[in-house]
Amino acid sequence: MLRDETANSVRSALARGDLLAAYDEVTQGKEQGHKGLDYLEVLTLARLGDTERGLRLYEAYGLAAMGDVDALSLKARLLKDQAFAAGPKLDTDKVLEACGLYAAVYRRTRSSYPAINAATLAKIAGRTALASGLAREVVRQVSAEGRQDYFSLATLAEALVVLGDLTEAEATLTQAVQAPDADVGSRSTTFLQLQRLVAAAGGSAAGSTLLEPIRPPKVAMFCGNIFIGDRGLEAKLADEVAAVIRREKVGFGYGALAAGSDIIIAEQLLDAGAELHIVLPFAEVDFVAQSVAPSGDAWVRRYKECKTLATTITFASTMSYVGEQAQFAYGSKVTMGMARLRARHLNGEAIQLAIVEGAGAGTLSGSDIAAWRAVGAKSEVVTTPELKRPVLPAPPPRSHVKRGTYGIMFTDFPGFTGLDERVLPIFWQEVMLRAAATLERYADVIRESNTWGDALYVVFQDARSAAAAALDLSDEFSQVDTRALGVPEGTAMRIALHYGSTYSGYDPISRRTTYYGTEVSRAARIEPVTPSGSVYVTEPFAAVLEMEKDHLFTCNYVGKMALAKGYGSYPLYRLRRDPTAGR
């Protein structure tokens, strides 16, 4: 019974398009000993885009032995996705490999699902005769069955696209989204499939129109100015925000809950049936004291009501407020990146929804709008006349010690403490000299570097530089002669990255500038749970990286993991280079 409950919970999260929650559910269920979740784990990895791990686990779990159409088709789906993520150009050979596997599953099961996938891939690969034959068979089969569920109608529509009947395909998709099972997750996968098909056909205007009925709901990052209540103004702003939410078809919102603009937007998102995801910049008690309570008790009550109805509550940092505006800016940047990550998982679009006085000049929200637009993303800005601002409490006394926000790296070599004394000089040559040569290339963006034993501690100026250096180090460490060290083959340095605010000051012991604080401690707790040879990053790091324009990396979710020394569970991602960058 517990296994069934877990499986249903995973499927529910997949239906909502909440892939991170789905993965957390399935891994937690497996940790509790629930059986029969292997298929759902691999399916979730496929939707997350982690095809490499998905294929590895598909074989390890022996999913092909299940024999049903879903399990048999899953490997073909992973190969298909791998073909589209293989590099700057589409891997046609892998497309045809996936097509052949789908076709074989169709011959074995006579199911329309593998048949339409084989038809679409054949069309994309230029095998038009095979594509048309399979598509006609799908149309005949689905029409004869007469089912009106979402997947049957979406399958029929896809077959019509392959056959070139876009008008009838659009009408069928419009009908499909009215089906009771037309959930966000299903629409998202269909949207990606048809997007690839339309692109392969030249991306006509008719093809773009075709996608509109199944386009996933948009993800909004919301922000705005704090102000004191005014019933007339609030009602006007609420109406304007509601109109934007309807027009843009927003289904998810990510933001803080400061008094005024934030809470008004959050309330309208909830009224529209959208998911609300709260992201606070630092400890909640400090946030409420600084950004909610000064505007009055009514806003505190509304804050609590929104919080109760929110789908998730995340802290960009759990540290206290230390009186720095930069802490709010950090929270905003993490929020923006989280919204963009969610949109990526949905194969959808992230927009920004803001309420600002005038153009927002000189305010944090104005800076947020500029940062969002700098990466080429769309902002919907509701402007308002002059606002009545609250008197904010005095910030806590600020330390004279400098603070900044940086990329933080910790590494270590598994099994180092067990190395024979005689091989330590070899370790120094094989590992530490490689590290030194690699980091030398990043000398202009490194703020501090240190080492003790096998460990490295490096502070980088920004997330992009930290990511690039970490992957370069990982590549170098993979060349280490493990036999000479007497460690198992495949043993390699584990690398952890975080992005957060730190103090910087003179260290009287080392007699140089050092960086320290809560976020440094957090970064140190991630490295021990990172697998050998991997680069793991925190959610704030992944989110901030997402806000870097034209970055060359991808972050695959690996779940909420218990950090070392009782630091709690934390969502982590595996960092890799993006092979499709520049496509």
Residues 6+ apart with CB under 8 A from 98: 76, 77, 79, 80, 83, 117, 121
Residue type, 492: A
pLDDT computed for residue 3 by the predictor: 61
Residue type, 60: A
| Residue 9 or 202, more confident | 9
Query: Could you tell me how far CA 216 lies from the centroid of its own chain?
Result: 16
pTM of structure? 0.92
pLDDT computed for residue 73 by the predictor: 96
pLDDT computed for residue 133 by the predictor: 97
pLDDT computed for residue 582 by the predictor: 54
pLDDT in tens, 257-307: 999 999 999 999 999 999 999 999 999 999 999 999 999 999 999 999 999
All domains in the chain, ordered by first residue: 67-214 (1.25.40), 218-384 (3.40.50.450), 402-577 (3.30.70.1230)
Q: Which residue(s) pair with 451 in the sheet? A: 456
Does position 526 have pLDDT exceeding 50, yes or no? yes
Q: How far apart are the first and last CA of the chain?
A: 46
Residue labelled with tokens 């659009």: 170
Integer Cα distance of 76 and 73 in angstroms? 5
Average pLDDT over residues 16-42: 91
Does position 2 have pLDDT exceeding 70, yes or no? no
Percent of the chain with pLDDT over 70: 97
pLDDT in tens, 45-56: 999 999 999 999
Angle at 121 between CA 120 and CA 125, to 5 degrees: 120
Does position 556 have pLDDT exceeding 70, yes or no? yes
Does position 565 have pLDDT exceeding 80, yes or no? no
pLDDT in tens, 402-446: 889 999 999 998 888 888 888 888 888 888 898 999 999 999 999
Strand runs labelled E in 169-316? 218-224, 250-255, 275-280, 312-315
pLDDT computed for residue 1 by the predictor: 45
pLDDT computed for residue 344 by the predictor: 93
Counting Cα atoms < 13 Å in the Cβ hemisphere of 154 gives: 24
pLDDT in tens, 307-329: 999 999 999 999 999 988 899 99
Instruction: Classify 373 as helix, strand or coil.
Output: helix
pLDDT in tens, 107-165: 999 999 999 999 999 999 999 999 999 999 999 999 999 999 999 999 999 999 999 99
Sign of CA dihedral 430, 433, 437, 443: positive
Does position 549 have pLDDT exceeding 90, yes or no? no
- Under DSSP, the state recorded for 510 is T
Average pLDDT over residues 557-570: 86
Integer Cα distance of 157 and 176 in angstroms? 9
Angle at 186 between CA 182 and CA 190, to 5 degrees: 110
Instruction: Classify 347 as helix, strand or coil.
Output: coil
pLDDT computed for residue 204 by the predictor: 67
Integer Cα distance of 251 and 248 in angstroms? 9
- Range 202-215 burial, b when 16+ CB lie within 10 A, else e: eeeeebeebbebbb
